[in-house]
Amino acid sequence: MSEMVELTKAGLAKIKLFSKSKYYTYHGIATYTVDLGKLTNNCILLDEENQTVILKIPHAAMEIDIPLEEMEIGDTQKGLLAFGELSMNDDESKKLYSEAKKRMEEKLDADNIQEKADRMAKLSVWEIYQPMVAGVANGYALDVQFID
């Protein structure tokens, strides 16, 4: 995913004629993982009546990787009386990065990606462990649920 953020500096006496701005485009990759290392004995339940093994897993956790070397920097837009290039300091860089990441997270939330990631996590875990359950306990099925 990509997100564009703007850096603006007002210039002399905060008059628009002296202002400068520049757009920065950040490209990120959202990865969802399920940490099966968090499973404990309490996460595995046996329902003998329904011949089901219940495996409770954590929800998929999201991480967004935004490689700074892939950031695109636009041209400086200048007011009529502004001159020179626009550069950003470390604090501005951190602020823009945080804003881009926040917007990416909001897009993912709006698109219900977490719900899709959880659904895929359940399916993936089921595909891994169902053959083991069937091999150990003939006639038993696996039901993957989330820890709440």
pLDDT of residue 96: 94
Q: What is the pLDDT of residues 58-114, one digit of tens each?
A: 999 999 999 999 999 998 877 766 677 778 889 999 999 999 999 999 999 999 999
Contact 13, 104 (CB under 8 A): no
pTM: 0.78
pLDDT of residue 82: 67
Q: What is the pLDDT of residues 17-42, one digit of tens each?
A: 778 889 999 999 999 999 999 899 99
CA distance 143 to 25: 43
pLDDT of residue 10: 77
Residue of 93, 49, 42 lying closest to 71 (CA atoms):
93
Residue with tokens 């860089």: 93
